[in-house]
Every structure is written in structure tokens, then in C-alpha cells.
Structure 1
Amino acid sequence: MGLRLKFNLALLFVFALGFAVSGYLSYNLLHKNARDEVLRNAGVMMEAALSMRQYTVSQVRDKLVQKEDEFLPQTVPAFAATEMMNQLRKKYPDYAYKEAALNPTNPRDRAEGWEADVVNQFRKEAGRPEISGTRVTDSGLSLYLARPFQIKDQACLSCHTTPEMAPAAMVTRYGRDNGFGWQLNEVIGAQLVSVPMSLPVQNANRAFQTFMASLGGVFLALFIILNLMLYVLIVRPVRRVSAAADRLSIGRTSSADKAVPELPESGKDEL
């Protein structure tokens, strides 16, 4: 096995190891950044919904004078926040917001499937501030952010303890079987925001492919340059020294016509 082959095998091993480690680290970092970006977007949506809820409580509900025989759902914070986010979905259909409850007043807010699992997880793990995860939807991979909805205000129970205590117009609109029996400090549901991950993941994959292609190009250029340097600085001088040593080993110090010239000395390195 020649010197150049040994050198190239060692070089290829080092390059392959560096390529694999760099690929692993960069892939994980890029996809972590993509997930963090989606989480930030989900957090912004969540805060927007919470702001709408607060606006409804402080600016809208008390301003609307309701008749006893009329119930205005627009005065309910959850309804207002959901309607506002539904307007957003008209332009961004892959984004979703839902205040999912196990026993909601409005049937459209009933937790189903994975939503119920999230609510039950909050009920089991009291004090947990939020849950995030991914799920596969018809439009691709989606990330969800959930926060528990807990009854902390005694005033909320005036409409949700028994049908007899609730406004008659609300009972007429939603029935006697929906949204009653809530308890103070009970986790009755969760605020859920779903944000698509397809575009951030595509951007992360594109950046990863560009980085790996660039890294491969750098490694290839280094491989060629190091091989040229190996030949010019080591292989060629060693061959000349080896040829001169071969001649000396067989006693050839001169030919029939002239003496064999001395090996020219050049450079200031060991060779």
C-alpha cells in the first residue's frame, strides 16, 4: 500500500467522520430552530386570542344591555376569541384556534379525539402551564400549543352551575345538557392553537441541503489540494531521493560518458 493511498484513506475517514457529525448537528439544530419558530407563532396566536377575551370582558360585555329573553353570544369571551380567530382562518386555513371543553355550553367547542386527551392530561397534571406537540393533519405536519382553561372566578359559575341559575335565554339557545355542573378551580377545557410546520420544515431541509452541499464542496477542494501538496512536497522529492539511493546502492556513481550529477538541493525543509 503506497504512501498516497494510506494518506487518502486516512483523509477520507476524517472527512467522512466530520461530514457525518456536521450533518447530524446541523440537521438537529435547523429543525429545532424551525420548531421554535412555529412555537413562537403559536404563542403569538394564543396571546391574540387572550387579548380578544380580555377586550370582550372589559370593553364589550358590560356595554351591551341584554334583555332577559335574549342571549348575545358575542358577550362571551370564548365566543368572541373563537370568532376572531375564525376570521383569520379565512386567509390562513391551516391555522386553527379552539377552546375545547369536555362539557361546553356551545356544542362546537366540545373536545374530540386528541383534544380530549390534552384536556384530560391537564386535569391529571394540575399546575402544568402548557403542552405542545405535533400531529399529522390532512395538510401535513402541524404543531399544537395548549394551555389549560380553569375556572378561577366564582362569577363564571353563575351561568354554569345549574340550568335554573343560568339565564333563560342561554338555556333556550343551548339546552339544559350543555355547560353545567362546572366547579370552582376545575380544569374544564384547554385553549388550543395549531400551526402548520410544513413551510418551516421545508426551509430547514433546504438550508440543510445547501449547507451539506457546501461542506461537501469544501471537503472535495481540500482533498484535491492536499493531494497536490502531497505529490509536490513529499511524493516527488521522495521519488528523486529514492532513485538516487538506488543508483548508489548498486555502485553507479558515473556512466560511460559522464559522472552522475549530485542530487540538487532545493528548499529548506527536511527533504
Structure 2
Amino acid sequence: MAAISLVVTSTLQENATREVLAQAGLMIDSAAAIRTYTETEIGPLLDDKMASAFRPQSVPFYAATQHFITLRKEHPDYAYKEATLNPTNPRDRATDWEADIVQRFRNDGATRQVSGTRETPMGRSLYVARPIRVEAGCLACHSLPSAAPATMLARYGSDNGFGWQPDEVVGAQIVSVPFASAEANAGRVRREVLTAIGAVLASVWLIVNASLYLLVIRPVRRIARIADQVSLGDTAAPDFPKGGGAEVTALSAAFNRMRKSLDKALRMLGG
């Protein structure tokens, strides 16, 4: 049971991790889809209105973040952030641990995704991150303040969110998914599996013990009792029993032959 418990626990933990990773990957893919939709469908509709007022709804980063802010109203344990080292919107500024992830992408351009776990006030959480690289469309607003729309400067100022270079890693999409639900499911399945295995083992133990008692222990006890009577010269002792397993039956037959031979020898001596 100890070995089975270790194997089951390890397997279920791996499955829980895969499940959480799959959820996080789906969330990032959803964010990418929202960004693409905003860039191709929403942005062109708002281009002519940017002269009078800056429309953040046309920014893919903003659209993805707003989508997940709405999602968090129903799922407060889930989090999504486009963490940026030098963002236009201060709310997107990377925290220390997020900045470490961004720096990891900057140091290794071949890295496309990283994942790990961290403790949060809501419990243990798994995060998945992908790099945010500067694309050609980003430079219209983030290269130099002089090139940015005046309405954007009026809204956010000219101190942050500029100086980006083509293909530079400036941030990371980071999704955090709680482990609690997956771990609770894994714990429930573990209890059910171990209970079922324990019941099977207990049943096998009872069947094996009952079989040993009926086929071996009880016949051997009867043989021992009769042999004890015979050794004391009790000629009225019954024959050795023939029931039980094949080996016990053979033993009884051997004892019966020995008893007959002993009786014949005693009669010969007596005659």
C-alpha cells in the first residue's frame, strides 16, 4: 500500500501539473487571439478617431488585459498580465519577479516559454510566460515621443513607453493559474483509488486466509490431533482425514498407510 500510494500520488501530481499547464497555455493562446483580433479588426475602425482622442481599445495589449480583468471577476484566482519593463500604462509595469522572467527572455533569445510555481496569498500558483517582442506596428507609438500620436502623449505623457527597438523583448505575457482545484481533484482521486485498492487487498487477504484455513490449517490440525492419539496407543482413533488440498490429502494417505503398517507390526509382535 505504501508503494502504491507513492506511485499514485506521483502520477496524479504530474497529471495535475499537466492540467494546470494546459489551462495556462489556453489562456495565453486566448490572449494572443484577442490581440490579433484587436489589431486586425478593431484598430482600423478607430484609426480616424485617434486624432481627437486616444482610444486604448485599439491597442492589442490593452484589449487582452481588459478581457482578463473581466474574467477575474468570476475567477479571482486566475491572473493575466502583459508585464513590461518600460510600459506606457503604469499598470503594466513588471514587478520584481516578473522583471526576472522578462530578463530571462532578453538574455536567451531562443527561449519561447518558461513556467514555474510560486506562492501567492491565494495558495500555490503555476505561471506560464511568453516573451513580448517589438513588432513593426509597435514602433509607431513606442519608438520616439515625437513619433507618437499627440493624443497618446496627452493621456500617458512622454516619460514612459518609448525607446523600443525592433525585435527587442520588452515584456512578457504571464498567466497565473491556481493549483488548488487541480490538487483537490488529485487528492479526491487518490483517496478513491487507494480505498478501492485497499478494499481489493483486504478481500484478497480474507480469501487467502479462508482458503488456507479450510485447505491446510484445519486438516493439518486434525491430522496432528489424530497422530497424537495414535502415538499414545489409542486404537479407537479415527482415520486420518482425506479432505483439504492435494498435498494435505497425500499426507493423510501416507499417515494412514503408516498406521496400518504399524498395526500389522504390533499384531505380529503380539502373536
TM-score (norm 2): 0.85
- Distance between the aligned counterparts of 1:36 and 1:86, measured in 2? 25
Question: Partner of 1:269 in structure 2?
Answer: 246
Q: Which segments of 5 or more consecutive residues in structure 1 lack a partner in the other structure?
A: 1-18
SS in structure 2 at match of 1:159? helix
- Distance between the aligned counterparts of 2:139 and 2:70, measured in 1? 29
Contact kept, 8 Å, 2:215 with 2:245, in 1: the verdict is no
1:229 aligns with 2:206: no
The Cα offsets for residues 123-178 of structure 1, whole Å up to 9 and x where unpaired, read as 12222111112222222222211111112x33322221221222222122212221
How far is 1:249 from its partner?
4.1
The Cα offsets for residues 62-117 of structure 1, whole Å up to 9 and x where unpaired, read as 12113435221111110111111111112222211110011111111000022111
- Distance between the aligned counterparts of 1:121 and 1:96, measured in 2? 21
The Cα offsets for residues 203-253 of structure 1, whole Å up to 9 and x where unpaired, read as 111111122222222222222222222221111112222233334445x15
Bigger relative contact order, structure 1 or 2 (CA pairs below 8 A, ≥6 apart): 1
Match of 1:81 among 43, 51, 64: 64
Distance 1:217 1:267, change over 3 A: closer
Aligned partner of 2:36: which letter?
Q
Counterparts of 1:1-271 in structure 2, within 5 Å, are 19-64=1-46, 65-151=48-134, 153-250=135-232, 252=233, 254=235, 259-266=236-243, 269-271=246-248
- Distance between the aligned counterparts of 2:202 and 2:12, measured in 1? 24
SS in structure 2 at match of 1:177? coil
Q: Which segments of 5 or more consecutive residues in structure 2 lack a partner in the other structure?
A: 249-271
- Distance between the aligned counterparts of 2:144 and 2:228, measured in 1? 108
Q: Please, which moves more after superposition, 35-44 or 73-82?
A: 35-44
Contact kept, 8 Å, 1:158 with 1:166, in 2: the verdict is yes
Question: Partner of 1:11 in structure 2?
Answer: none
Alignment RMSD (CA, Å): 1.8
SS in structure 1 at match of 2:82? strand
Distance 1:40 1:268, change over 3 A: closer
SS in structure 1 at match of 2:246? coil
Distance 1:171 1:241, change over 3 A: same
Aligned partner of 1:227: which letter?
N
- Distance between the aligned counterparts of 1:61 and 1:260, measured in 2? 106
Aligned partner of 1:197: which letter?
F
Aligned partner of 2:120: which letter?
T
The Cα offsets for residues 39-69 of structure 1, whole Å up to 9 and x where unpaired, read as 2222222122111111111111112113435
Contact kept, 8 Å, 2:226 with 2:237, in 1: the verdict is no
- Distance between the aligned counterparts of 1:84 and 1:32, measured in 2? 30
Which has the larger helix fraction?
Answer: 2
Identity of aligned residues (%): 46
Higher radius of gyration, 1 or 2: 2
- Distance between the aligned counterparts of 1:238 and 1:61, measured in 2? 91
